[in-house]
Homo-oligomer: A and B are copies of this chain.
Amino acid sequence: MADRNPPRPTDAELAILRVLWALGASTVRDVHDVLNRHAPTGYTTVLKLLQIMTEKGLVVRDESQRAHIYETRYSEQKTQRQLLSDLADRAFDGSSAKLAMQALSGRKTTPEELNAIRDLLKRLEGGSK
């Protein structure tokens, strides 16, 4: 029954997922408090979003307490890769390498980050996982 392909989260959904990844399993109130700090958001707005996300399978809900506990269903990394794979298909001819190159050219990158990427390249080329 579980969806094989998780649906692409919308903007508002992604904002909630980010909070859940940061906090771990949380109540609606927890999520609302964080989001409200950045931009005024109604409590019921967050609640509704989480209900929809539960239906979509983006989060799972523990209803054993009065205040339900929500948790992400997919890791941050998995979701990020999904989004990138999607964008590569839609705008980069399916090429992740083209995408990566544009990303690196587009914005400033620190020397530390460049080194990290160099290491990554070495690992990829090594053929080892």
Using CB atoms and an 8 Å cutoff, list the residues of chain A in contact with chain B. Answer: 11, 14-15, 18, 77, 79-81, 83-85, 87-88, 90-92, 95-97, 99-107, 109-111, 113-114, 116-118, 120-121, 124-125
Contacts and interface: CB of A to CB of B under 8 A. Distances in A.
A118 B84 CA distance: 21
A106 B96 contact: yes
B116 A97 contact: yes
A104 B100 contact: yes
Contacts of A80: 91-92, 99, 102
B120 A105 contact: yes
Contacts of A113: 95, 97
A109 B97 CA distance: 7
